[in-house]
């Protein structure tokens, strides 16, 4: 009996010891696993994986990264019409009084709307249309060579234009380069040049305007439509917001055009090389006419180097204007400028433009966030099939605005910007590439004002691990 009791006690002791050993071993394993998980380094991610993750994120958000929209400073701007007393007080700025049906002012570095009024009202763009004509023509591979020589189609000769329409001077017995043709549209707003561009590019005005409308829809201009390439038709329609977005993308795609075309003060045409056959001994003098730029702001506004003016009776005085000083570029679009006569209309357009640009340069600047947007903080991934030693990821920033590099701020706030990273310490698998897991916020210190939010997304597809892996990862704290 005594021997039996001893054997039972011995078995119990052995069982207890075995259980204790298993428990301690499991605890040791869990402790080691959790320790390794705490020390886990970030998983290496390739540029292809980053691109795939960003593509998935943008697709889910229906965001076209090639043609981003205009944006506004969250909770603060844009300053619309008559801002609230609180907004004026916090911003400490005074809005300019603009004598026009519609206008918008944006920062070219960021696409940020600074102020606007009736910016979604449809108005005929008049000769602002020629900017879209230039853009559409340059999209055609055959016309990327600006030195290519062309002969003006007879239908586009200046003598066939409506009375009073601006012209470059295209006519019989001429040849000119694509560069000269574009300069004729940009500088003196030649309606003959705009029609020639359409006919040379697509063979007919109808086919060319179809291309124009396709181009603006691709950019995201949903309230813009064209029936001709010159802007003479009142059936052409746009909005200040649409055309500001177009101007922004145009400058992004063809920045060299400002110097080549839009900041040129005058044009002389035809020149000697444009005449195929010299008909008499008096030479070129009987043909050549020098025309000043229709954009009078080139000589009256510091930093102005483009873009285009427009006027028809149905629209009033229009302008898409850009100017740059001290590394800051702004774009203003003013539609439906009021007028009693042509001289007054031009004067009002100049005053409106100068007011908006002075407002921009006096109050706003860009803040470089390229260094601040770098993320070094890791997020531990729990319950995944990743190796324990690489069970961490560094999220990647995804931009939903025009610029990834800058934010627009009031000059007085530049010294008071802070970055706040909102990111969990851990995430649980499974998780698809492109899923948002956090954000970066740029704020004004000691306020609720958010200037910009940048989503932080998962860089890879993370699959779920085994049931055991999920269980032991559950001990991570």
Lowest mean pLDDT among 18-32, 235-249, 298-312, 434-448: 18-32
Higher-confidence position of 409 and 14: 409
Would the pLDDT of 24 be above 80? no
**Over residues 451-477, mean pLDDT:** 83
Give the residue among 295, 308, 339, 315 at the shortest CA–CA distance from 237: 315
The whole-angstrom distance between residue 42's C-alpha and the CA centroid of its chain comes to 32
What whole-number distance in Å separates Cα of residue 292 and Cα of residue 393? Answer: 60
Higher-confidence position of 9 and 91: 9
**Over residues 166-183, mean pLDDT:** 95
pLDDT score recorded for residue 54: 94
Cα torsion angle, 109, 110, 111, 113, sign? negative
- Burial status of residue 84 (CB atoms within 10 A of its CB: 0-12, 13-18, 19 or more): exposed
Lowest mean pLDDT among 9-13, 207-211, 468-472: 9-13
Close Cβ partners of 318 (under 8 Å, ≥ 6 residues apart): 123, 125, 126, 127, 128, 309, 310, 311, 333, 334, 335, 336, 337, 349
Q: Quick one: tokens of 343?
A: 């001289």
Would the pLDDT of 473 be above 90? no
Domain spanning 40-63+370-473, CATH class: mainly beta
pLDDT score recorded for residue 18: 67
**Over residues 377-385, mean pLDDT:** 84
**Over residues 75-98, mean pLDDT:** 55
What residues does each domain of the chain span? 40-63+370-473, 85-363
* Residue recorded with tokens 């380069």: 177
Tell me the pLDDT band of 33, cut-offs 50, 70 and 90: low
pLDDT score recorded for residue 83: 41
Angle among Cα 336, 338, 341 to the nearest 5 degrees reads: 120
pLDDT score recorded for residue 213: 97
Higher-confidence position of 251 and 65: 251
- Contact yes or no for 332/108 (Cβ under 8 A): no
pLDDT score recorded for residue 8: 73
Close Cβ partners of 73 (under 8 Å, ≥ 6 residues apart): 112, 407, 408, 409, 451, 452
Tell me the pLDDT band of 82, cut-offs 50, 70 and 90: very low
Would the pLDDT of 52 be above 70? yes
The 3-class secondary structure across the chain, one letter per residue, is CHHHHHHHHHHHHHHHHHHHHHHHHHHHHHHHHHHHHHCCCECCCCHHHHHHHHHHHHHHHCCCCCCCCCECCCCCCCEECCCCHHHHHHHCCCCCCCCEEEEEEEECCCCEEEEEECCCCCECCHHHHHHHHHHHHHHCHHHCCCCCEECCCHHHCHHHCCCCCCCCCCCCCECEEHHHHHHHHHCCCCHHHHHHHHHHHHCCHHHHHHHHHHHHHHHCCCCCECCCCCCCCCCCEECHHHHHHHHHHHHHHCCCHHHHHHCCCEEEECCHHHECCCCCCCHHHHCCEEEECCCHHHCCCCCEEEEEEEEECCCEEEEEEEEEECCEEEEEEEEEECCCCHHHHHHHHHHHHHHHHHHHHHHEEEEECCCCCCCCCCEEEECECCCHHHCEECCEECCCCCCCCEEEEEHHHHHHEEEEEECCCEEECCECCCCEEEEEEEEECCCCCEEEEEEEECCCCECECCHHHHHHHCCCC
Tell me the pLDDT band of 282, cut-offs 50, 70 and 90: low
CA distances from 371 to 73, 367, 368, 404, 450 (A): 20, 11, 8, 11, 19
Percentage of the chain beyond pLDDT 70 is 87
pLDDT score recorded for residue 106: 96
**Over residues 364-383, mean pLDDT:** 84
Tell me the pLDDT band of 362, cut-offs 50, 70 and 90: very high
Q: Quick one: tokens of 200?
A: 């040379």
Would the pLDDT of 402 be above 50? yes
Give the residue among 294, 158, 161 at the shortest CA–CA distance from 232: 161
- Contact yes or no for 75/84 (Cβ under 8 A): no
Tell me the pLDDT band of 16, cut-offs 50, 70 and 90: confident
- Contact yes or no for 451/443 (Cβ under 8 A): yes
Tell me the pLDDT band of 87, cut-offs 50, 70 and 90: very low
Would the pLDDT of 370 be above 60? yes
Tell me the pLDDT band of 55, cut-offs 50, 70 and 90: very high
**Over residues 144-169, mean pLDDT:** 93
**Over residues 96-112, mean pLDDT:** 94
What whole-number distance in Å separates Cα of residue 312 and Cα of residue 36? Answer: 73
pLDDT score recorded for residue 91: 54
pLDDT score recorded for residue 25: 55
Q: Quick one: tokens of 129?
A: 């249309």
Would the pLDDT of 308 be above 90? yes
Would the pLDDT of 128 be above 90? yes
pLDDT score recorded for residue 350: 95
pLDDT score recorded for residue 79: 40
Superfamily, domain 85-363: DD-peptidase/beta-lactamase superfamily (3.40.710.10)
Tell me the pLDDT band of 88, cut-offs 50, 70 and 90: very low
């Amino acid at each position: 009996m005594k021997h039996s009791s001893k054997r039972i006690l011995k078995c119990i002791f052995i069982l207890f010891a075995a259980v204790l050993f298993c428990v301690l071993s499991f605890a040791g394993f869990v402790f080691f696993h959790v320790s390794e998980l705490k020390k886990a380094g970030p998983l290496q991610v390739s540029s292809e994986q980053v691109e795939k993750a960003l593509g998935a994120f943008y697709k889910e958000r229906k965001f076209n990264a090639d043609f981003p929209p205009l944006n506004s400073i969250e909770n603060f701007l844009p300053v619309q019409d008559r801002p609230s007393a609180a907004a004026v007080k916090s911003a400490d700025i005074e809005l300019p009084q603009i004598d026009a049906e519609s206008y918008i002012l944006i920062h070219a570095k960021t696409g940020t709307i600074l102020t606007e009024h009736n910016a979604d009202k449809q108005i005929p763009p008049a000769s602002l249309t020629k900017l879209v004509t230039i853009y559409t023509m340059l999209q055609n591979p055959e016309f990327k060579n600006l030195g290519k020589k062309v002969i003006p189609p007879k239908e586009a000769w200046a003598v066939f234009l409506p009375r009073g329409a601006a012209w470059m001077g295209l006519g019989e017995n001429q040849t000119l380069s694509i560069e000269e043709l574009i300069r004729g549209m940009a500088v003196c707003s030649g309606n003959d040049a705009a029609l020639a561009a359409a006919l040379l590019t697509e063979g007919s005005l109808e086919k060319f305007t179809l291309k124009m409308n396709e181009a603006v829809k691709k950019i995201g201009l949903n309230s813009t439509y064209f029936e001709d390439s010159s802007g003479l038709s009142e059936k052409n329609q746009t909005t200040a917001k649409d055309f500001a977005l177009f101007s922004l993308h145009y400058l992004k795609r063809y920045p060299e055009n400002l110097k080549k075309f839009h900041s040129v003060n005058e044009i002389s045409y035809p020149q000697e090389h444009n005449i195929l056959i010299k008909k008499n001994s008096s030479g070129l003098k009987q043909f050549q006419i020098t025309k000043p730029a229709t954009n009078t702001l080139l000589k009256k506004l510091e930093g102005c180097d483009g873009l285009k003016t427009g006027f028809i009776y149905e629209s009033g005085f229009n302008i898409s204007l850009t100017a740059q000083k001290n590394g800051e570029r702004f774009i203003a679009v003013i539609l439906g400028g009021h007028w009693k006569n042509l001289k007054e209309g031009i004067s009002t357009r100049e005053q409106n433009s100068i007011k908006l640009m002075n407002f921009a340069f006096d109050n706003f600047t860009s803040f470089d966030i390229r260094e601040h947007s770098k993320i070094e903080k890791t997020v531990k991934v729990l319950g995944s099939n990743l190796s324990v030693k690489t069970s961490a990821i560094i999220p990647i920033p995804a931009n939903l605005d025009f610029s990834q590099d800058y934010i627009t701020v009031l000059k007085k706030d530049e010294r008071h910007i802070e970055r706040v990273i909102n990111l969990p310490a851990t995430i649980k698998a499974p998780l698809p590439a492109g899923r948002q897991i956090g954000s970066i916020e740029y704020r004004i210190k000691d306020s609720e004002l958010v200037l910009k939010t940048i989503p932080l997304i998962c860089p890879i597809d993370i699959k779920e691990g085994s049931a055991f892996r999920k269980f032991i990862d559950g001990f991570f704290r």
